[in-house]
Amino acid sequence: MTQRGVLVYKPVSGNFKITAEVRAAKNSNPSQTPGGDGTVQLGGLMARNGNGGQENYVFVVIGDDGNGLSIETKNTVDSFSNYAGPSWNASEAELRLCRFGSAFKLYKRHLGANEAWIPADSFDRPDLPDTLQVGANIYTDNTPDLSVRFDHLRIESITSEADCEQD
C-alpha cells in the first residue's frame, strides 16, 4: 500500500522455508518496544515478486501495528494488501515463511519456549513466479523509529509441505 520499507533478499526458486529469530525495538531507545504512538513499526520475513510493476508479496512481521504489539501477516496482490495483526505478548519471536507449490504458510513461536510452530496464516498464490525475492524486511507508515535484529536467518529448500513445521 505504498508505505515506507526495505527488503534485503536473495533470489530463491522452488519450494523453500525461511526462518529467523526477529527482535523489534525503538531505534531511539533499544530497551523499549517499537511504536506505542499509533504508528506502524514492523519487521520480519517476506517473499516478493521482483519483476517490477505492481507489488505482489506475502510476509510475516513483528512489532507494533499501530494498535500495539502484534505478529502481522500480509498478502498483497497487485498493490492491494489484506492483513491480519493479532496481538502478541512480546516484541520478539521466531518467524517462518514457507512455500510449497502455490501455497504459502506463515508461522510464529515464542523465543526460547521450545514450542511447536503456531500457524499464523496461509495464502494460495498461483500468480507468483517460481523465483522470488526472499529475505528480511522492515517497514513503517511514518517516520521510522525502528531497529530490527535478525538472528539465525536461514533459507532452506524443502521437499514436502510437512517440512514447513520441521526444525
Q: For residue 52, what pLDDT band results from cuts at 50, 70 and 90?
A: confident
> How many separate domains does the chain show?
1
Task: Examine residue 60 and state whether it is found in any structural domain, yes or no.
Answer: yes
Lowest-confidence segment of 4-8, 98-102, 129-133 by average pLDDT:
4-8
Looking at the DSSP assignment, which residues form a beta bridge with residue 18? 97, 155
- The CATH number that applies at residue 25 is 2.60.120.200
Task: Examine residue 167 and state whether it is found in any structural domain, yes or no.
Answer: no
DSSP 90: S
CB 104 within 8 A of CB 89: no
pTM of the predicted protein model: 0.96
Residue 16 in this model has a pLDDT that exceeds 60: yes
Residue 3 confidence (pLDDT): 55
Q: Give me the domain span that covers residue 24.
A: 4-160
Average pLDDT over the chain reads 95
Q: For residue 1, what pLDDT band results from cuts at 50, 70 and 90?
A: very low
Task: Examine residue 99 and state whether it is found in any structural domain, yes or no.
Answer: yes
Residue 4 confidence (pLDDT): 67
Lowest-confidence segment of 3-12, 39-48, 50-59, 88-97 by average pLDDT:
3-12
Residue 157 confidence (pLDDT): 98
Residues 6+ apart with CB under 8 A from 44: 20, 22, 59, 60, 61, 62, 71, 72, 95, 136, 137, 148
Express each pLDDT in 63-121 by its tens digit.
Answer: 999 999 999 999 999 999 999 999 999 999 999 999 999 999 999 999 999 999 999 99
Task: Examine residue 165 and state whether it is found in any structural domain, yes or no.
Answer: no
